[in-house]
Structures are given as structure tokens and as C-alpha cells.
Chain A
């Protein structure tokens, strides 16, 4: 028996230690009252330019101006706004008696201090800013040129208003102290945020007292959690998992078509795509309904024009829908002088009708769609290579002029005014996410300039129609499928509204049965 105690003691230590580790954390009281919310996004930093979308979606922080799910702009931190006679000077009146989460008053000076930091970021640089100042109870913003959609740009999550006490000595955000209906009570790494209802909220306080947000980046794990009913609301479920989640009976998947689009973009400067007839033929060869039904499992998401009806201002029912017409596409290519070679691929002036299409690996459906398109384009004598890669590779390839063709997912409502995406995507020789060498940009630019400067609703509506028609007919890009925003909702959740702009998760109106 001489040796046995040693081993026993060691074993006991290891097992004992392991048991201590496995003991549950301090009792979590009233768990049933906590609204459990999940989505793929981690809280990686406190900076509004990086994580502001989570601050805004979880309704921790608010912007001067906000957007309702129906697209209407409403007051947020500011109560109302008006532009002066000069069409350059805007006054945003701060709501009276409003307080930050730490009880300090929301003043125009505090809002200006917060906005000045946001204006240094790239997303706000489209504003032709002259100056920003606090005057009495108003934030005054003066632009160098008329900029009619300034209120919409201020909905940008990078422009959330934080309290002066949020910033540390190093100029970085140390704590997020804002004005939303929920305040941060605790945080566990990048994965879990504990939120509490802010009782001094400017409007009616949220219905639930506590929210626990969990980031679950892996799609399969989100599916498992939804099948088990381990969350109350889960945003962005995997589309293919909807039948499984519904069948499990714990959560039901709701969906809504949103202005996020799977777009096919061309390099209109290379011989394959310089001719509009080729771009049209490619668009006609795509079986969008087949892709939507077979791959995306949602026939309604097949695009008929660039944007869905969820943004009524930028959806023109009068435009002819994209058609699937292989014979017509072949005729167009014949007309354009592309002749089929022995291997079935068309050739003109020694150039094969072939291209490499970049897709984004972390949107797995894009690569599957790409392989379906490979077969569909072969039917019109075009050879397509699909190259999945990191998302950053696409803007890099566009900037370098190397991109031939690419398919990516693009939201046109980073702010609730599509023009803010139209300008960078379609008025430059090299966009970030969009066209490359498109000759129509010279016709687009005057339209978008006029739109930005105009304050006349009727004139703006006419300009929108012109811009949409130009994009639809000249095809610097062609939309393949719109996005379905999918949300799994637990049976005990009541009163959830889905925001097609994805600015807010609308948790304030939710109750638990």
C-alpha cells in the first residue's frame, strides 16, 4: 500500500479541481424575466465606428435622428430639426430634460462633442461639413453645399450620441454611456452583454426589465440553439435551417425582405463586358427564381430590379422585371459578334467570353449560387470560374482594377437614404462595392448631384426614377436575389416588430408571456 496514496491524492486533486470548475456560477435569480437575444455579432470594442451597429440595434445608444421601420425619419436625441433659408444651416433641437444613463443631462454641447468624434470617421465624410457647433439647446450643422439628406446620414450608427463621461483619458470609449431604452449592466468578454431597462428613458420605458445579449457567430450553432429554444429572439438564422427550427416547435422563424442585395457586378472596362449587350445577356441567362427557390429556399427573394419594395422610394414598380430568357440572351450575343468555338465557349477578336467571378467565403450561399450560375452561363457560351475569398479581397480587386466579375452582398441602407450608397457605388470609376469602369457614371453623377442639392420632394422623386432606370438599363451591376432577414422568435415572445433597416431590434416593445 506504500504507493497508492500518492496516486489517489493526485487523482483527487485533479478531479476535485475539475469539479470545482464545473460548479455553476452564482445563482441567477429571476432568469425567466430575462429577454434572451442572440445574433452573430460580437462586441469587439467600445468604438461607435466599429461596434456602433450593436449599440444601435440593442437600443443602448441613439442618434440625433432615427428611422421607424416604415422608413420615416423621427426625432431621436433631437426633438425636431429644420434647415435655414440658405439651405446650408441645419438646427437640431435637443430634447428638453433628457438624461444619459449616468443621470447627466443631454446638452447640445455634449451632443456636439460626441458628433465631432463621429465626423472624423469615414462613413460621415460624405457630409460636406463646414462647421458644427452648439447654440443654446440646438446642434447647428452648416454644410458647404446644400446636402438635403443630412438628417438621414445622421442616422448612421457611427454618429450615436454618447455622454462625455464615456471617453477615457486616451480618447477611446471606456464605457458606453448613452440615451437608449437599455443600459449596459454587465459584460462577459465579447460574447455576452447584460442590459437593464433605463427607467429615465425619454419615451415610455421598455416593457422588459432585463435583456441578455449573446453573440453566436457560427451559423450551425445558432441553428442548434434555435432548435433547442435556448434564446427568445435570434436574429439572422441560417435560411436553410428554417424548416428544422419550425419543426422543433420551440421557436418560429419570421422573415422579411430587406434592402440588402446579392449583386453581380461587372468590370465594364474589359472586352468581355464593355458591350452592354453582353451584360444584358448575362442577366437574362440567370435563373433567379430557380436560385431563390433551390438555394435560398425563398422564391420571393428573386430580384426583379435592384431594390425590393421594402424601400418604396427606391423601388419603381413601373420598371420591367428582369427576365430569364436563354434564347434571347444567345441572340444578343450573336448580335454582338460573339461566336461559339468548338468547345461551346464564345469568342470575339480572339478573346474568349470567360471571366473569374469573386465571391465572399463567409457568405456560403454566394459560392453555391456561383456554381449554379456557372452552369446557367455555359448555356449562353460563357465560361465562369468562381473564386471564393475573404470579403476584403473584393474592394481591393476593384481598387486595383483587377476585378472581372464579382458577386457580393450589399446593403443599400447603411443610412435610410439609398443615395448615400448610390454615390460611392455608381458615380466613380472605381467604386468600393459596385461598378468598375462603368461609362454610365458620367450620366449618373449629374443626377445624384442634383438629388443631393434638391429640397423639392417632387423633383427628387423624378430624379430617383431616372437613376433607377439608368441602373436598370445600363447594368453596371445586376441584382440576383434580395435578402430575407430571418428572425427566430420563441413562443413566449409577444409584440416583436422587425425593422427592415436593421437599425434597431425593437426590443423595447417586446413582452414575455
Chain B
């Protein structure tokens, strides 16, 4: 059995790997953004002063002031050196520290992400359980129809549908914004429905698999009723694939945010990233890539640890 210190070492190694992967991702972003056609300083200038005030002189001044005329390897190594000191540089657009901008926008993404994610499982867990306990039954067919419909709708369609119904027709909720709880409902629900579309079938299949498992049959033979057997022995086993899947869904959370945040005028990380890409705000794009990459790896690590807690066999290295 692995000792506590071995586990800690493993966690530290994984975190180190995560940071290295994130830095690699940021470096790829640096390469990609410089490989895009067009003059970077001109794009930054257009984003700063607006299209109609854009002149080659403005672009030249920004190129000089921001050091964009330095050779690319120099710009890159300056960024890496900064990173080693824990600095992410300043935004080319606002002049504010990138870390400050990321913290502000990531806070909003985290709020919306947690709320949407929790809401999605509030929808998916009961539906998936009902469907998986009676495969082919009425509940299964209804859940299947719901998840299929939601999965086939891109999240902006779901969002527009919800806005049209709740904000424009029923006038119950504001159509966009971020400053009160009421503003959070529609974007969180849009995110939740998009996430639930895929977690309902995963939940259902996990429950189905466990129901057919030998240990559950054994529990029944032992004399437990179907509900008690599933409660004591099934639920925990069924949770393992769901936890793994939930971590993978984090990728969608970031991805789906771009659309949802734009539609709801919500100042999250996706919104920041899109605007930084349009403005070719290199330090912000790299900082965001670093943060998203690291967060993705950290969430995966957390999921693995959770699986370890849920499944004692994994701790001993025994085959599941």
C-alpha cells in the first residue's frame, strides 16, 4: 500500500508536470499568434485607439513602447524569465498587469462554472439514475430524448432559447449582465443544460454497468433489497466513471464559456481570451493559456484523487 509521503510526492510530480505542460501550451500560443498574418503592432493599435484613429504612426509608437520590435526569441525569453520570477507581464491593451486581469475574469468564470456544473449534476444525476435503473423504461426514453435534444443544440442556441423565453417573453429574468444573482440564472442554466446533455448518458451507463456487476448480484444474494444493495454497493462504484467524465467536462466549461459569456455580456475568462486574441494581446493570451492549461491539469489531478478515495482497490495497486 502506498504511503502518505509517496502520495504527496506523486501529487507534487503531477503538479510539476502540469506547470510544464501549461508553459508549453503558452509557448505554442506565442508561436501561433506570431505566425498569424498581419502586423501585430497594427492590430494592437487598432484595438487600443479604434479603427478610425488607426495610423501607421500609432502602430510604430506602440511597437517601440512595448518592445514589439525586438527579435522574437528575445521577446519569448523575456516572458519565460518573467514567468520564472512569477510575473506574467502587462496587457498590451490596458497596460494593467496580466495577473490582475486574469484574477478578475477567472473569478467570474469560476462562479459561473461552479454554478453551472453543480446545476448540471442536479439535472443529470436524478435523470441518469432513473434511466439507468430501468433501462428501456419510460424514464430512460424521456432522459434519452432530453439529452439528445440538448446535445444537438449548440450552447448559443440553448442560450438564445432561454433568453427568448425567460427574459424577452415572460420577462422574469434580465437578458444579460453579471452583477446580481438574477443575472447568473440564465447563463448558469445554459451551461448546465449543455453539460447535462452529455453527463445524463454517462450517468445512465455507469448505473447500468454497476447494476449488472457481480458484486451487486452478490449483495442481492446476501439478502439486501435492490434499493439497499444499490445504495451501499452500487452508487460508489457508479460514481467513478462519472467523476472522471466530470473532470473531462472542464474542457467544455472553458470552451462553452466563450459563447455563453459573449451572449450574456459576462466578463469571464473566455470573453477576455477572445478579445485578447482579436487584439493580439500576446501577454494576456499566454497568461490565459497558462492558467487554463494548469487548471485543466489540476482538475484532472483532483478527479484522480477523488477516484482513489472512492475506490480503495486503486490504492493497493490491485486490478479493479
A interface residues with partner B (beta carbon < 8 Å): 1-4, 7, 14-15, 17-18, 21-25, 28, 44-45, 47, 49-50, 53, 122-123, 125, 172, 188-192, 214, 216-218, 220-221, 224-225, 227-228, 230, 248, 360, 362, 390-393, 395-396, 399, 408-411, 414, 424, 432-433
Q: B267's contact among A28, A47, A190, A360, by CB below 8 Å, is which?
A: A190
* Main DSSP-derived SS at the A contact region: mixed
One of B2-10, B76-84, B179-187, B287-295 contacting the partner: B179-187
Q: When chains A and B are docked, how far (Å) is the Cα of A221 from the Cα of B105?
A: 19
Q: Which residues on the B side are within 8 Å of A45 (C-beta)?
A: 48, 93-96
Task: State A4–B233 Cα separation when bound (angstroms).
Answer: 10
Chain B residues contacting A217 (CB-CB under 8 Å) are 262, 265
B175 interface residue (CB < 8 Å to A):
yes
Report whether over half of chain B's contact residues are helix, strand or loop; otherwise say mixed: helix
- Among B19-27, B126-134, B166-174, B201-209, the one that faces the other chain is B166-174
Is the C-beta of B18 less than 8 angstroms from some C-beta in chain A?
A: no
B177 touches A214 (CB 8 A): yes
The answer to whether B181 and A395 have CB atoms under 8 Å apart is: no
Residues of B within 8 A of A (CB): 38-39, 42-43, 45-58, 61, 93-96, 104-105, 111, 114-115, 118-119, 121-122, 163, 167-168, 171, 174-182, 184-185, 188, 231-232, 235-236, 239, 262-265, 267, 278
Q: Which residues of B contact A1 (CB under 8 A)?
A: 232
Closest chain-B Cβ to A222's Cβ sits at a distance in Å of 9
Bound: A362/B179 CA distance, A:
28
Cβ of A24: which chain B residues have Cβ within 8 Å of it? 180-182
Contact across chains for A414 and B179 when beta carbons are under 8 A apart:
no
Task: Return B216 CB to nearest CB of chain A, in Å.
Answer: 14
Query: Quick one: closest A residue to B173, CB to CB?
Result: A228
Whether B94 contacts A228 by the Cβ 8 Å rule is: no
A221 to B46, Cβ gap below 8 A? no
Contact B57 A15 (CB under 8 A): no
The reply to whether A391 and B232 contact each other, CB–CB distance below 8 Å, is: no
Apart from A21-B111, A224-B168, A225-B265, list 19 A-B contacts with CB within 8 A: A1-B232, A2-B232, A3-B235, A7-B239, A15-B118, A45-B93, A49-B49, A122-B55, A188-B179, A189-B104, A192-B179, A228-B168, A390-B278, A392-B45, A392-B46, A392-B54, A399-B56, A410-B52, A432-B55
Given contacts A18-B114, A21-B111, whether A191 and B267 have CB atoms under 8 Å apart is: yes
Residues of B near A18 (CB, < 8 A) are: 114-115, 118-119
A residues less than 8 Å from B93 (CB atoms)? 44-45
Please give me the residue from chain B that is nearest to A430 by CB atom: B56
- Find out whether the CB atom of A396 lies under 8 angstroms from the CB atom of B118: no
The reply to whether B181 and A23 contact each other, CB–CB distance below 8 Å, is yes
- What are the nearest 6 A-B pairs in CB distance? A391-B51, A224-B175, A392-B46, A24-B181, A18-B118, A24-B180
**Who on chain A is nearest to B114 by CB?**
A18
Complex formed: what's the CA distance from A390 to B61 in Å? 20
Nearest-Cβ distance from residue B101 to partner chain A, whole angstroms: 9
Give the docked Cα–Cα distance between A24 and B177 (Å): 13
Instruction: Collect the chain A residues with CB atoms within 8 Å of residue B114's CB.
Output: 14, 17-18, 21
User: Do A25 and B51 touch across chains, with their CB atoms under 8 A apart?
Assistant: no
Asked if B56 contacts A230 (CB within 8 A), the reply is: no
Q: Point out the residues of chain A lying under 8 angstroms from B185, CB to CB.
A: 22
Complex: how many Å from CA A216 to CA B178?
12
Which one of A3, A172, A216, A399 contacts B176 once the chains associate, using CB atoms below 8 Å? A216
Q: How far is the CA of A50 from the CA of B96 in the complex (A)?
A: 14
Q: How far is the CB of B122 from chain A (nearest CB, A)?
A: 7
Q: How far is the CA of A487 from the CA of B317 in the complex (A)?
A: 67
State the CA gap A122–B121 with chains docked (Å).
54
Query: In the assembled complex, which residues on chain A have CB atoms less than 8 Å from the CB atom of B53?
Result: 122-123, 414
- Chain B residues with CB under 8 Å of A47's CB are 95
